[in-house]
């Protein structure tokens, strides 16, 4: 367990919290913006159509638990943001709102990777520097958030997406499964072999993205 608060460990904690806060803010902003675009004004009234991280931070899921995990294990463990409330009941529109959050994580991953590659290409950063490693971690984390949140189980976004796409005749069965879905989600979070369902594709996408950017910027990545 990583419990010694060395300067390097403190920097790791600070970087991890900043990356998580921004990633969750972008994710929740995606939900709020999508709801706002289809005419649901509740997220705007609640101040959620913003990229301000504190508007989306949950005291326990965004701040306390990740901070404890970073201080004791060196990893983020798991966390969550403040859910975006909306009044939309149309199934198709709910799919749009639900998918928008994970989609924004992909957007953030691509933007950070492009910025990272540009800084490396101009010599501002080197691959082995702490900030460079933090940017690469942010890219992988946001791909992880994309694939994890699209697992087809409530209360994750993927559960809402699936519910909005399946035939109406399947809804009763799906809602019965949803009662036990949180335990399925916990299994994916706790069991390492099951966690590969979202960590492996996340690392694959990050690696392919960096390969593409390496070709574009003519640098080895």
Ramachandran angles phi, psi of 134, nearest 5°: -65, -40
Q: State the pLDDT confidence band at 180, using cuts at 50, 70 and 90.
A: confident
**Closest to 26 (Cα-Cα) out of 53, 46, 3:** 53
Q: What is the mean pLDDT of residues 154-169?
A: 92
**Closest to 199 (Cα-Cα) out of 101, 75, 30, 68:** 75
Known catalytic residue: 126? Answer: no
Q: State the pLDDT confidence band at 221, using cuts at 50, 70 and 90.
A: confident
Mean pLDDT, all residues of the chain: 91
Q: Is the pLDDT of residue 109 over 80?
A: yes
Q: What is the mean pLDDT of residues 136-153?
A: 95
Tell me the per-residue pLDDT of 2-56, one tens digit each, with 9 for 90 and over: 456 788 888 888 999 999 999 999 999 999 999 999 999 999 999 999 999 999 9
Ramachandran angles phi, psi of 57, nearest 5°: -80, 135
What separation, in Å, do the N-terminal and C-terminal C-alpha atoms of the chain show?
31
More confident residue, 97 or 65: 97
Residue 161: other Cβ atoms inside 10 A: 20
pLDDT of residue 2: 46
- What DSSP state is assigned to residue 168? G
Per annotation, catalytic residue among 8, 28, 126, 211: 28
Q: Where are the alpha helices (DSSP H) in 52-156?
A: 53-56, 65-72, 91-121, 130-149
Q: What is the mean pLDDT of residues 208-217?
A: 96
Integer Cα distance of 16 and 138 in angstroms: 9
- CB burial readout 117-134, b (16+ within 10 A) else e: bebbbeeebeeeeeebeb
Q: Is the pLDDT of residue 124 over 90?
A: yes
pLDDT of residue 167: 92
Residue 77: other Cβ atoms inside 10 A: 14
Q: Is the pLDDT of residue 1 over 50?
A: no
More confident residue, 118 or 79: 118
């Amino acid at each position: 367990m990583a419990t010694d608060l060395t300067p390097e460990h403190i920097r790791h904690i600070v970087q991890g919290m900043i990356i998580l806060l921004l990633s969750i803010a972008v994710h929740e902003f995606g939900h709020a913006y999508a709801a706002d675009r289809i005419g649901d004004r509740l997220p705007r009234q609640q101040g959620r159509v913003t990229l301000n991280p504190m508007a989306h931070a949950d005291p326990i899921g965004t701040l306390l638990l990740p901070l404890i995990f970073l201080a004791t294990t060196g990893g983020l463990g798991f966390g969550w943001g403040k859910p975006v409330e909306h009044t939309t009941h149309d199934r198709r529109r709910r799919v749009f709102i639900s998918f928008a959050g994970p989609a924004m994580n992909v957007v953030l991953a691509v933007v950070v990777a492009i910025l990272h590659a540009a800084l490396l290409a101009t010599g501002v950063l080197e691959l082995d520097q702490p900030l460079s490693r933090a940017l690469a971690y942010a890219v992988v984390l946001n791909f992880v958030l994309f694939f994890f949140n699209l697992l087809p189980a409530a209360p994750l976004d993927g559960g809402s997406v699936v519910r909005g796409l399946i035939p109406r005749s399947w809804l009763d069965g799906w809602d019965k499964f949803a009662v036990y879905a949180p335990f399925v989600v916990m299994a994916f979070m706790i069991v390492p072999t099951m966690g590969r369902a979202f960590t492996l594709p996340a690392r694959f996408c990050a690696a392919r993205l960096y390969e593409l950017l390496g070709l574009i910027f003519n640098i080895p990545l």
